Copies of this chain bind each other. A is one copy, B any other.
């Protein structure tokens, strides 16, 4: 999915085009990472699932803002540093088997998704479409 036309189709379309190869690419980056689900502390909406290495977790805990590891750029990704859509950390939770995290956050910008909704603002969550009858439907 390299071109903007493909990105448009993937992100704004109603075709189910699930990328089952991404996770292998994630683990082929130089750093060992765990998945992190990110949830809004107030609306309880699930905003993103991303990946975190030791460095990104340490940054998050120290600075109180959500940081991830960009597995494509192989660098620390402090959410909002470019977009302004910073996510303030309320709590970091760990699952039973200690192989995933949950960031509970307060969005300090417009939203959490890099895509824009019909109002031109960052969507609050990346999960703005549901699967219905084998296709995608935008959630009201």
Interface, chain A (partner B; CB < 8 A) = 1, 10-11, 16-24, 26-27, 32-35, 37, 39, 44-46, 48-49, 51, 53-54, 57, 61, 91-102, 113-115, 123, 126-131, 136, 139
How often does this chain occur in the complex, in copies? 2
Q: In the assembly, what is the distance between CA of A49 and CA of B22, in Å? A: 16
Q: Which of B19, B23, B49, B95 contacts A27 (CB 8 A)?
A: B23
Most chain B C-beta atoms within 10 Å of own C-beta, residue among A24, A37, A92, A139 = A37
Q: Which of B26, B98, B127 contacts A19 (CB 8 A)?
A: B98
Q: In the assembly, what is the distance between CA of A49 and CA of B136, in Å? A: 22
Q: Which of B10, B35, B46, B54 contacts A97 (CB 8 A)?
A: B10
For this complex, 20 residue pairs linking A to B, each with C-beta atoms less than 8 Å apart, are: A1-B97, A10-B97, A11-B98, A18-B57, A19-B99, A20-B33, A20-B54, A22-B99, A23-B27, A23-B99, A37-B37, A37-B49, A39-B46, A93-B128, A93-B130, A94-B131, A95-B127, A96-B113, A96-B123, A100-B126
